[in-house]
Structure 1
Amino acid sequence: MIHQYKNNGYNIILDVNSGAVHVVDDIVYDVIEEYNKNEDADGRFTGTDKDSLAEKFASKYSRDDVYEVCDEIEELTEQGRLFTRDIYEPYIDSFKDRPTVVKALCLHIAHDCNLACKYCFAEEGEYHGRRAMMSYEVGRKALDFLVANSGSRRNLEVDFFGGEPTMNFDVVKQLVEYGRSIEKEHNKNFRFTLTTNGVLLNDEIMEFANKEMANVVLSIDGRKEINDLMRPTRNNHGSSYDIIMPKFKKFAESRNQTNYYVRGTFTHNNIDFSKDVLHLADEGFEQISVEPVVAKPEDDYAIREEDLPKIFEEYDALAAELVKRKKAGNGFNFFHFMIDLDGGPCVAKRLSGCGSGCEYLAVTPWGDFYPCHQFVGNEEFIMGNVDEGITRTDIRDEFKACNVYSKDKCKKCFAKFFCSGGCAANSYNFHGNINDAYDIGCEMQRKRVECAIMIKAALADK
């Protein structure tokens, strides 16, 4: 399976199954396009007639040049770098039967928030239910569950999430202390992370986070007018941008511009979102993520299909600017353009992504398990609780079987091994099952993958 495209002046060929990327000139690009028409149902090259190709391109390229390109293509094919067979699909049965090992928990430490973000899927932290704070007892049981169900895996991830977790920060500190106290006994290492809107950030919280949190996510949408439009304070008590920006700058610097990212959301109101990314970069942030909102079609801020051409232009322009700045020595990382073409994720990650519902679970303040934070509040997806463990193994098994080959939309998609089938929650919310895909999201993901590969090519181009 081959995907070829042009981006910012580069002709790029991606061999989907091997992951090999080729940056080529016009003649190779054109000839491979003809070769690509001769794949069988399994994506394998079935051969072509060189004389016919030479005649087809006679007005553009010499016969000898076309022959030479054909020989190069066939050599790369023999080397397993073009038109390679899918080695993953035969693995899928054993993949679905793999032992269940829980690797990560999202602790909803606070179902409450001090902002009133308009696009919040958590309904200002309430998650379609009631306001609540997780107790130390519930959190301790959740950590015990994680240790007991993590098998031989040593590194375990725990994200303190909300709502706004700093509204319950004493419990956060207690749980970190408890986690550290049991690491050695069980041969585990907790990697704690924190997601915060920054309103309550102070020196004490920053100092603790810098000591104990492997990563922090700082929520801000970009330019002041954009941020304050979608992320207002409760009862309009001032500009949230003005409250958090100085704190976030200080926090990022205190972490030496690593092991954090500022994370924003763009909507129909700012499809010129590259300006928000560059605003954050110009403010000194080096780790940036600004992601498309996922919203119901009737929401006035939802991204629409007609927005996509402009969004694609924004991604292309942002990619070109990122290359320019990196070459000038003042670059930044944009989360959705970070891609590993050398090793990349393990096979399990390539096939199933985040592992929601089996390897990764969300825990409510009262101790219920859900497949992930985006399912919290939909009681059909309660999987168990911290006292009884997983009682709905049918839900776990359904998520465990979810992969790029269980989704018809993924099978022929060139980006499937980079997005791993996309978000199960988005699939469910738009189509009523987890084995579909959020179509607008897929379109944007494909564009981001194309841009990410172009950036690699451009930075390798001396």
Structure 2
Amino acid sequence: MKAILHLSSACNLRCKYCYAARTEHGTRMTIDTAKAAVELVSREGRNSFCVSFFGGEPLLHFPLIREVVPMAREVAASRGQTVAFRMSTNGLLFTPEILQFCSEHQILFAISCDGNQQAHDAQRVFPDGRGSFTALAALLPEILRSCPHTVFSAVVTPSSVPHLVDSMNWMWDQGIRFVAHQLDFSDPAWEPDSFEVLTRQYELLGEWYLEKTRSGEYFYLNILDDKLKTHIKSDFNHAPPCDFGISKVSVAPDGTLYPCVRFVSDDPRTGDFVIGHVLTGFTDARQNLSLKNLAPKPICESCAYVGRCIHYCGCNNFTSTGEIDTVHPLVCEHERMLIPIADSLGEILWQEKNPAFLAKHYKIDLSRFPLLGEYDLE
């Protein structure tokens, strides 16, 4: 089981698409609350558990991280368990000391980067409105030297869509090889025209994927690789479902438990999604909400892609429709457009018996693809 520790709501950025109200100073998690959360997931986790550092910006509270890591190892050792560590960060506060600590303790992290300067600075800004691209780009060489398998998480919005392929080329030139795109379906600026641009960018990205794979390059691009996985694994032919608080839990700074990071916010509606507290454990709401999220959705029953799309993501549904079990039409349109593009790539590379493709999706060479199992980047 994974505990996602929201160390604070404070952040050094004011990203325009952020679902939470970020401030310079926010409620901070105490070491006692963190320990209670670790104890909780350790009891639930059987042989292993995971601790993920989240925010706000978790590196604003690096001293707390330094306390939590050895404490979590002690808890794991006392029960004969193993513990893994993850972190989601904007990357702007990395120092040689912090990078060394992450390397020594095998903390895998995902860095938020929307792509090239035009895409990134359109949304990811400092409190004074300045873009954060230049500051992050200056740190990338040191970050990638220390942690070459770093995942870069890019939010796709109507403003960034025209730069999607250019952004991938820029990332590639920096040495970035693991990229996870996440569409912001809640953005009201999505229009038919912007979706047409997205379709064309995906087609071009497919050509990019084909070229890199044929050249023997090893990389991970979630929007295509995840869809290829659902096609290849035909024995279950299913996208990895969100169990909504069963295998992972988000812990607010005050210890309140939620099924996902998106519910740790100032939105008053999120009060309906509290599933417990670190000091008292889980309530019945945990199981009830999970069952509601996983229940078949009538609108999806006749769709050929029902086992391969992201309709199961209750958090995505909530932010785009206000209900965890109601799928936004844009999600349907997106998946029906993307999946055939991915499938056509898979057919071509399978017919060619491409070694890089086979190593990624059939032989699963973890020396080249150490993060293939890390689809959940939180």
Interval of TM-score (by shorter of Structure 1 and Structure 2): 0.7 to 0.9
* CA displacement, residues 80-120 of structure 1 (integer Å, 9 cap, x when unaligned): xxxxxxxxxxxxxxxxxxxxxxx222110121100111111
| Paired position in structure 1 for 2:33 | 138
Taking the TM superposition and a 5 Å limit, the aligned residue runs for 1:191-206 are 191-206=84-99
- Rg larger in structure: 1
Q: Which residue of 1 aligns with 2:280?
A: 388
Asked if the contact 1:218/1:248 (under 8 Å) is kept, the reply is no
Structure 1 residue 329: deviation in Å? 3.3
Which amino acid is the alignment partner of residue 411 of structure 1?
Answer: E
| 1:450 counterpart = 2:340 | yes
Q: Which runs of 5+ in 2 are unaligned?
A: 353-378
Alignment-mate amino acid for residue 455 of structure 1: L
Aligned-partner SS, 1:201 = coil
Provide the C-alpha distance between the structure 2 equivalents of 1:214 and 1:108, rounded to a whole number of angstroms.
16
Output the CA distance in 1 between the equivalents of 2:326 and 2:64.
Answer: 38
Q: State the partner residue of 1:375.
A: 263
1:116 to 6, 10, 14: 14
The answer on whether the counterparts of 2:186 and 2:320 sit within 8 Å (CA) in structure 1 is no
Tell me how far 1:235 sits from its aligned partner.
Answer: 1.8
Where structure 1 has 5 or more consecutive residues not aligned to the other structure, the ranges are 1-102
Give the TM-score taking structure 1 as reference length.
0.69
How many angstroms does 1:411 deviate by? 1.8
- CA distance, structure 2, for counterparts of residue 293 and residue 119 of structure 1: 8
Distance 1:163 1:119 in 2: 13
Q: CA deviation at 1:330?
A: 4.1
Cα distance in structure 1, aligned partners of 2:185 and 2:109: 22
Secondary structure, counterpart of 1:137 in structure 2: helix
Q: 1:217 aligns with which of 110, 134, 140?
A: 110
Instruction: Please state how far the C-alpha of 1:436 moved relative to its aligned partner.
Output: 1.8
Shift of 1:445: 2.8
Name the counterpart of 1:78: none
Partner of 1:361: 249
Preserved contact between residue 222 and residue 276 of structure 1 (Cα < 8 Å): yes
Contact kept, 8 Å, 2:185 with 2:330, in 1: the verdict is no
Instruction: After TM superposition, give the deviation of residue 312 of structure 1 in Å.
Output: 1.2
Aligned counterparts of 1:352 and 1:248: Cα–Cα separation in 2: 30
1:351–1:420: 8 Å Cα contact kept in structure 2? Answer: yes
Asked if 1:310 corresponds to 2:197, the answer is yes
State whether structure 2 residue 334 is matched by structure 1 residue 439. no
Task: Tell me what 1:267 maps to.
Answer: 157
Q: Distance in 2 between matches of 1:328 and 1:352?
A: 29
- Corresponding residue number in structure 1 for 2:124: 231
Alpha-carbon separation, structure 2, partners of 1:351 and 1:222: 26
Show the counterpart of 2:146.
254
Taking the aligned partners of 1:281 and 1:449, their CA distance within structure 2 comes to 24
Number of equivalenced pairs? 345
- Between the aligned partners of 2:171 and 2:250, the Cα distance in structure 1 is 30
**1-side partners of 2:290 and 2:137: how far apart?**
38
The superposition leaves residues 340-373 of structure 1 with CA deviations (integer Å, 9 ceiling, x where unpaired) of 25874996x9487122232221100110001111
Q: Distance in 1 between matches of 2:273 and 2:215?
A: 49
TM superposition shift of 1:267: 1.4
Q: Which moved further from structure 2: 160-169 or 211-220?
A: 211-220
Q: Which amino acid aligns with 1:408?
A: P
Shift of the 350–157 alpha-carbon distance from structure 1 to 2, 3 Å rule, reads farther
Question: Taking structure 1 as reference, are residues 208 and 290 closer, same or farther at Cα in structure 2, changes over 3 Å only?
Answer: same
Q: Which amino acid aligns with 1:314?
A: Q
Structure 2 contact 122–131 (Cα < 8 Å) conserved: no
The answer to whether the Cα contact below 8 Å between 1:293 and 1:303 also exists between their aligned partners in 2 is no
CA distance in 2, matches of 1:325, 1:416: 30
> 1:437 deviation in Å?
1.1
RMSD: 2.5
1:340 and 2:247 are equivalent in the alignment: no
Deviations 1:247-268 (A, max 9, x none): 233222322x32x211111211
Change (3 A) 1:166 1:214: closer
| Identity rate, percent | 22
2:57 and 2:89 in contact (8 A); partners too: yes
In the TM superposition, what is the alpha-carbon distance from 1:334 to its structure 2 partner?
1.1
Aligned to 2:374: none
